[in-house]
Amino acid sequence: MVKRNVRIIRVFPRRTNATPTDELAFIGSPDLFSWDMNVDMVHISITFSWDLPEVAMLEKAWRQVAPVSIGGPATGQRGEEFTPGMYLKKGYVITSRGCPNRC
């Protein structure tokens, strides 16, 4: 069986300096060209808790393109493997996960 590359659109509610800029990274709702991209999945990444109210709207809009998965630091889910360039712009790295002083 031939293993193919899985194409994943990553959606972010807002742009930051660390937001990826490749062709599969989107900010907000799908645009006119998103519908014809031939992707396998859509991942909505929520970094900030103040963006959580927007999650339902984004999920509803993007599920028309491909199956949707929601995650990110604001959801409280534990981060797993770090893939450079996937959810952070290439060149960014994670050195820690939160403040050890609980500040």
β-bridge partners, 9: 42
Reported as a single tens digit per residue, the pLDDT across 80-100 is 676 777 888 888 776 555 555
CB within 8 Å of 3: residues ≥ 6 apart: none
Reported as a single tens digit per residue, the pLDDT across 4-14 is 688 899 999 99
Distance CA 87, CA 63 (A): 19
Number of domains into which the chain is organized: 1
Distance CA 6, CA 9 (A): 10
Distance CA 36, CA 43 (A): 17
Residue 103 domain boundaries? 1-103
**Residue 72 pLDDT grade (very low, low, confident, very high; cuts 50, 70, 90):** confident
Reported as a single tens digit per residue, the pLDDT across 19-66 is 999 999 999 998 877 777 889 999 999 988 999 999 999 999 999 899
